[in-house]
Chain A
Amino acid sequence: MPIAVAPERPAVRSTIDRMAPPSSFGDKVFKWLTLAMALAVVALVFLVGWQLARGSSLAIRRFGFHFLATSTWDPVAEQFGALPFIYGTAVSSLIALIIAVPLSIATAVYLTELAPPWIRQPIISLIEMLAAIPSVILGLWGIFVMIPWLRDHPFPFLKKIFGWTPFFREPIYGVSMLAGGIIIAVMILPIITSVSREILRSVPNLQREAAYALGATRWEVTRIAVLSYAKKGLFGAVILGLGRALGETMAVTMVIGNTPQIRASLFAPGYTLASVIANEFTEATTDLYLQALFEIGLVLFGITILANLLAQLLLKTLGSTIKSGAVQ
């Protein structure tokens, strides 16, 4: 082989030599173009934040820190406090995560590790279809199907068993913080499941095989070789879900009861930041009222960014315990 090629070698080299030195122009354009795009995204985030802050400057000056710490929302007297909405957003998102995370990750594990191929594709398609249902349709389904059912069956059951805790005490209306959390759970299930499935699929088979070789059972393989290997990525999937949960608006508005109050009972109606904007923005006629709604937007924006930063921080500490960088 080498002998056959040998005579050609100088010729090849001379062709390369004769070619113009590799032009870096295209590379440069490519580099600056992508950089510009990346910066545009960053600029967009700042622009949104700046615009929200500018739009709410009057309210910020008027209420200051009290805006975050008081509970009165009175458009007539122009007294605005965001605390019940912050509470509602946090609690409903938390309920959603508590319900959706185990469900989604278990589904993803089943689909990647256990499910026979013939059942895998139909389930994946169904989950993707769930993601395609418009929010407002889910909300209508929530009002007319989910709420009556929750009110008649699971809620009284929960009250009977956990009625001694403050969380399941008050009268049951159906529309409630818990119902809001449940509908958000339905909405973030597909994204957490899909991302988790992709992450589990990217775990190298070598990992599994090595564990099997050590005599691990199927559960042990899943736990040691797959789940702990993919921990970081799964955490990322949950954060993506949280991001959606914080901003979910339409369906939540329809089932949460829209009452700005802070109650321990999950049966009591609540309110979220996104819902109050959707509800009141169109008919807000006075400047201060409109600005207060802008400030609600700013708070929601801040919470979303804060949640992401915290997630990054957690991920870093997680990252130091796991060396593997296979899952990005």
Chain B
Amino acid sequence: MTKLLRLSSKILGLSLAFGLSATASAQMTINGAGATFPYPIYSKWFDEYAKVDPSVRFNYQSIGSGGGQKQITAQTVDFGASDGPMSDENLAKAPAKILHIPTVAGADVVTYNLSGSPALKFDADTIAGIFLGQIKKWNDPKIAALNAGVNLPDQEIVVVHRSDGSGTTYIWTDYLSKVSPEWKQKVGTNTSVNWPTGLGGKGNEGVAGQVKQTPGAVGYVELIYALQNKMAYAEVKNSAGKFVKPSVESIIAAVATAQIPEDFRFSITNAPGNDSYPIAGATWLLVYEQQKDAAKGKKLVEFLKWALTKGEDMVKNLDYAPLPAELRERVLKRVDEIKI
């Protein structure tokens, strides 16, 4: 008993000493908040970066893109993060100019539950038709035309979508708005929308769970989630007329061929190019062009440069798509313009 006591007092003493030394070294904390989709890669970056520069610590709260945009506008964080670019209206509310720094890209995949799990192919028309509630049966001629040789059952299609607001839904509806005028007019693009049909599942796991449980269901989840859970997913016809399987490579191809404007508020859905997967999107860090705190600003810029060079090399391990080299150069140049 006394031994135990002595041991625990030693441990207490040690931890106290460590605690004191940590505060003594006056570590700088840079706060960020926003998107949940890139959270795994960001926290990996912050971990790795702590080894590169131990004097700075990053505190990132994955509260959602809406929260990220709000907090950077209100200047309660040093950087924000969002899965969709900020609207002109929201940018106008910020006290100063906010820069969009794209970091990584991802994709939505079409997943389904059919007996025998045949490999299926979809195109813009069929996906929009299904999600608008116009294609109701699996043996619809439109689906059958794309999938010759597959025995499609006379079964009702049960649509499953995300019920929570998400970047995944933003990419999905952005794609549908681009390829279907009817979708654009009736539903539109947002992190959550007024769905014409279907059941709502919370999170990737909610959608995946409901698709898995419901015979005849079709839904969309993040590629990363599908890869890590070894789910089956469909090939989708891109704007060049080729059927492409979603993968890190086909996302990179989409980013490389997409038109990217100077402010980096781009969309890579329905990108041109033979190898581009059409339902993909990027995620952004949001920083002020004019940094208020010089010391923090300097550290933040150093981190951004590291993330866009060394950091990008480790994103593939977590199944994200890194930015193509040419775009990285452009973004790095923009980071250099941040005023401290």
Binding partners A and B = yes
**Could you tell me which A residues sit within 8 Å of B by CB distance?**
72-77, 79, 143-144, 147-148, 151, 171, 173-175, 253-254, 257-259, 269, 271, 275, 278-286, 290
A173-B199, A279-B165 are known contacts. Are A75 and B192 too (CB-CB below 8 A)?
yes
**Could you tell me which B residues sit within 8 Å of A by CB distance?**
36, 63-67, 69-70, 84, 86-87, 89-90, 156, 158, 163-167, 187-195, 198-202, 206, 209-210, 213-214
Report the tally of A-B residue pairs with Cβ distances under 8 A. 104
- Which of B64, B69, B163, B164 gathers most chain A CB within 10 Å? B163
A143-B213, A147-B213, A259-B198 are known contacts. Are A283 and B191 too (CB-CB below 8 A)?
yes
Of B187, B192, B194, B199, the contact of A283 (CB 8 Å cutoff): B192
CA distance A293 to B192 in the complex (A): 13
Interface contact A279-B164, CB-CB below 8 Å: yes
- B88: min CB distance to chain A, Å: 12
Interface contact B165-A175, CB-CB below 8 Å: no
Sampled A-B contacts (18; CB under 8 Å): A76-B189, A148-B213, A254-B206, A257-B200, A258-B199, A258-B200, A269-B200, A275-B163, A279-B163, A279-B165, A279-B202, A281-B165, A282-B63, A282-B65, A283-B66, A284-B165, A284-B191, A285-B70
Residue of A nearest to B198 (CB): A259
CA distance A113 to B156 in the complex (A): 52
CA distance A290 to B67 in the complex (A): 10
CA distance A193 to B36 in the complex (A): 39
Interface contact A285-B202, CB-CB below 8 Å: no
A144-B213, A174-B213 are known contacts. Are A283 and B193 too (CB-CB below 8 A)?
no
Interface contact B202-A283, CB-CB below 8 Å: no
Sample of 13 further A-B pairs with CB below 8 A, known A279-B202, A283-B164: A74-B194, A77-B194, A173-B199, A175-B199, A258-B200, A259-B195, A275-B163, A279-B165, A279-B200, A282-B36, A283-B167, A285-B69, A285-B87
Interface contact B188-A77, CB-CB below 8 Å: yes
CA distance A98 to B87 in the complex (A): 47
- B190: min CB distance to chain A, Å: 5
Interface contact A282-B165, CB-CB below 8 Å: yes
CA distance A73 to B190 in the complex (A): 13
- B34: min CB distance to chain A, Å: 10
- B338: min CB distance to chain A, Å: 24
CA distance A279 to B198 in the complex (A): 16
- B8: min CB distance to chain A, Å: 29
Interface contact B199-A285, CB-CB below 8 Å: no
What residues of B have a CB within 8 angstroms of the CB of A77 in the complex?
Answer: 188, 194
